[in-house]
Amino acid sequence: MFSMLRTIWYVFLHAFQKRITVQYPEEKPYLAPRYRGRIVLTRDPDGGERCVACNLCAVACPVGCIALQATEDEHGRRYPEFFRINFSRCIFCGYCEEACPTYAIQLTPDFEMGEFHRKNLVYEKEDLLIDGQGKRHGYNFWRVAGVQIGGKDKGEAEHESAPVDVHSLLP
Amino acid sequence: MTSPYPLLSIVGIVIVALTIAASLIYVERRLLALWQDRYGPNRTGPFGLLQVVADSIKIFMKEDWVPPFVDKPVFILAPAVIFVTVLMSFAVLPVAPGIIVSDLNIGVLFFLAMSSLGVYSVVLAGWSSDNKYALMGGMRAAAQMLSYEVFMGLSLMGVVILAGSFSLPAIVEAQKKIWFVVPQFPGFVLFLIAGFAETRRIPFDLSEAESELVAGYHSEYSGMKFGMFFVGEYMGVTLISAAISVLFFGGWLGPVLPGVLWFLIKTFFFIAFFILVRAALPRPRFDQLMSWGWKVMLPIALANVLLAGAAVQLWR
């Protein structure tokens, strides 16, 4: 009986405590830099698309919300012909970001993506691509990869030595 | 003492009672939020005051569905019963000198009878729903009513002995010297607890018990029929609060301010207390509830009546 009265009194004292509610639209919550929100596609320092259309993000995606089609340009650089993320399915797990070998796909601290029509939640490549480099600065996949593309032969990448001519390795 | 404008009192009391009951939807949510460090509804209109309007529009627009397996006439009648009985009880409550619908000389008995009849609404709703959870809720309400009605009546007998009358205005007049809460403190506590049981509020909402019985007796109800139960519950809270202020806290008696205002202040104080208790206390187990009612509350109530009677006898 006494404990009940004490409970009532303690609950009453809560009337004078600070309320913990964050009044959202007026008062924005703090989002950590690594917050997993809206997904973007970043560009390398030269302004080219980082995405090489390897499909790893689409494979890693547990809900299958990423769709893309790989193609090649005249220099032999792979890039996605289309890149589509259905944000009405996306669960913002960040597995695509972990899977991405070129730091192209990244999650940003932005969650305000409300729409009145569900089809507006399907983002195309134009909607996903941003002009900057996101969280990884200075990384350019094509400059460090050993792949031969137009304008860069084998062995010309950074930290790469020229290929060994096997015919000169005679005993 | 009858009202000079009977029709005006009737309309006024009904309108005020209904308005208070409706606004309790908002008041309860805001107060609960206050005691749980939240804000509650504060978006619709200034301070969220239009929440009541929004809620009532919503509940009127909802589909009023009667399930095919229910006992139709009883199912439809049940929500009306709680509403009618509570409104009938308001008839004998004196708001201020002269503002009363009917000054019955057995006002206390009429009040007790009408507020107990409200349990029929719950039992019938539970029975007619043809749903095991609803039936269990109804059965619990019946058992709860049996065990708590007994000492609810007895807890008021001390007041009646002191005032020497069953008429509620006479009881208020008898408190001119001292509020009955002082000489009749055990009676006040007992009536408060019984009032919680009577309105089926937490901690005595075993007939509803969301965590065990889905929604208890109103599991099958939707739309405005459910709304009637809801408003009926809030009217019950208003009624019990008003009754406490009339029986134990001197009703309209108070300095400076007009009587009606004093009555409203006291009533709102107890409404807030009802909500505070809802925020604070958990629901007891059913057997605990029953054994409490019969083994603790009833003997205390009987002893209280005995002592009050003896004291009054000695005084004279």
Preceding amide of B73 cis, omega within 30:
no
Which residues of chain A have a CB within 8 Å of the CB of B38?
A: 19-21
Q: Residue B153 pLDDT > 90, yes or no?
A: no
Positive or negative, the CA dihedral B41, B43, B44, B50 is positive
Average pLDDT over residues B241-251: 86
Contact A20, B37 (CB under 8 A): yes
Mutation to test the A interface, candidates B43, B276, B283, B289, most A Cβ within 10 Å: B276
The pLDDT of residue A21: 85
Which residues of chain A have a CB within 8 Å of the CB of B276?
A: 8, 11-12
Q: Residue B1 pLDDT > 60, yes or no?
A: no
Domain boundaries, chain A: 32-133
Q: How far is CA A58 from the centre of its chain?
A: 12
Q: Residue B82 pLDDT > 60, yes or no?
A: yes
Locate all alpha helices (DSSP H) within chain A, ordered by sequence.
2-13, 56-60, 95-99, 125-128, 141-144
- Strands A105-107, A66-72: parallel, antiparallel or unpaired by DSSP? unpaired
A32-133 placed in CATH 3.40.250.10: no
Q: What share of chain B in percent tops pLDDT 90?
A: 0
Q: Residue B45 pLDDT > 70, yes or no?
A: yes
The pLDDT of residue B226: 86
The pLDDT of residue B4: 64
User: Per residue in B125-143, is it b (16+ CB within 10 Å) or e — as a string?
Assistant: bbbbbebebbbbbbbbbbb
Q: Residue B218 pLDDT > 70, yes or no?
A: yes
**Residue B250, domain extent:** 6-315
- Pick A12's closest partner by Cβ from B35, B38, B39: B35
C-beta atoms of B280 and A11 within 8 A: yes
The pLDDT of residue B2: 57
Is B1 among the domain residues?
Answer: no
Low-confidence ranges of chain A (pLDDT < 50): none
The pLDDT of residue B3: 58
Mean pLDDT (chain B, rounded): 84
Q: Report yes or no: A16 at the B interface, CB cutoff 8 Å.
A: no
- Pick B36's closest partner by Cβ from A8, A14, A23: A14
C-beta atoms of A21 and B276 within 8 A: no
Total count of domains within chain B: 1
Average pLDDT over residues B207-220: 80
C-beta atoms of A17 and B37 within 8 A: yes
C-beta atoms of A15 and B277 within 8 A: no
- Among chain B residues, CA nearest to A9: B280
Give tens-digit pLDDT for A92-103: 999 999 999 999
The pLDDT of residue A60: 92
Q: Residue B101 pLDDT > 80, yes or no?
A: no
